[in-house]
Amino acid sequence: MAKVSIIGAGQVGATCAYTLLKNNVADIVLVDVVEGLARGKALDMMQAGAIEGYDRKVIGTTDYKEVGGSDVVVITAGLARQPGMTRTDLLSKNAGIVKSVVSSVVAEEPEAIIVVVTNPVDILAYVALKTSGLKPNRVIGMSGALDSARYKYFISQMLNVPLSSVDGMVIGIHGDDMIPVTSQTKVGDKPLLSLVSQEQLREIIEKTKHGGAEIVSYLKTGSAFYAPGAAAARMVDAILNDSDEIIPCSVYVQGRDVFDDFYIGLPVKLGRIGVREIVEIPLTEIEREALYQSAAGIKNTMNEMREIIGG
C-alpha cells in the first residue's frame, strides 16, 4: 500500500493530497507546523471520500514520526510569492525552511523519494539534495510539469482547441527564462508553428513565462495552487506506478558540458527509483542557446547565494 507524506498543508499541499486521493494513488500524511491545520484538512478529505468514492486513509499531524514508511515525500512548505516578489527574493527564508523539513524527513524515512515544490524550486531542490544526502535521482523538483500545463492551456486558448489535443513541454529554469519547446509542440497531428503567427507565438510564450505572476496579481495575498498541486500529484503518480512517463522536472545535472552541479528543468522518465533517465529531445539552435542561458542564470543565482544554500 503506497504512502505519500506532504509537508505543508496549505493550498498547494492540500490540492496535491486531494488529487492523489481522488485518483486512488496512495494513503496520505499531511504535516504542518500550524496546530490543527493538517488535522482539519485531513478530516475534511476523509469525509469527502464518502462522496467521491475513495477509501484511502488521510492523517493530519504536526509530528514527523508519521512520515516513517513513506514512499514519496512532497515538500510544499514555505512562503508563497507575493506581488512584486521574485522567486529569488524567496530564497533566503525558504532555504532555511527546506533544510529543516528535509532533515526531519530523512530522520524518519531515509529511503523516501523527495519531490520539492517550494520556490525557487531549482535552487531549493539542490538545497534538499545536499541536506538529505540522498542520491540525485531521489530528489526531484516540480517545475516543467506545471509550466508545460500553462503552456498547453495558452495554446488551447489561442487556437480555440481542446487541451487534450495539445502536446508540448517547457524546460529550463522555473522562472522567466523557461523555454517552451515550440519546435516540438503539436496540436493534433500538426506542428504548432504551422498554426500560429510569430506574433501569436510570442504572446503564448510570454503568457506562459508569466502565468504564475498573473495569478499572484489577481489573488493579491497568495499564489497559484490548483495547477501546482495537480502537477506535483502527477509526478507522484508516475513515480509510484513505475510508469516511465516522460515529464519535464527539475533534476540534478553533473558533467554534461556546462550543465554541472545544479538543478534545471529537463524531460525525464519517472519511476519507482525516482528519475530513471534524462531524455534527450531535438532542439533548435535558438532553443539550445536559450537552455544554456537558463542554466547560466541558475548558476549565477547559486553562486550569489552559496552561503545561504550550502553545498
What amino acid positions are annotated as catalytic residues? Answer: 174
Which DSSP string corresponds to 106-160?
HHH-TT-EEEE-SSSHHHHHHHHHHHH---GGGEEE--HHHHHHHHHHHHHHHHT
* DSSP helix/strand/coil, 162: coil
In the block, cell 468514492 appears at 53
Using a 10 angstrom Cβ sphere, with 0-12 exposed, 13-18 middle and 19 or more buried, the burial of residue 186 is: middle
Q: How many CA atoms lie within 13 A of 15 on its CB side?
A: 15
Cα–Cα nearest to 235, from 250, 254, 224, 223? 250
Report how far residue 57's alpha carbon sits from residue 112's, in angstroms, rounded to the nearest whole number.
19
Q: Strands (DSSP E) along the chain, which ranges?
A: 3-7, 27-31, 58-61, 72-75, 113-116, 139-141, 166-167, 170-171, 179-180, 186-187, 190-191, 245-253, 262-271, 274-278
Cα–Cα nearest to 211, from 196, 229, 228? 228
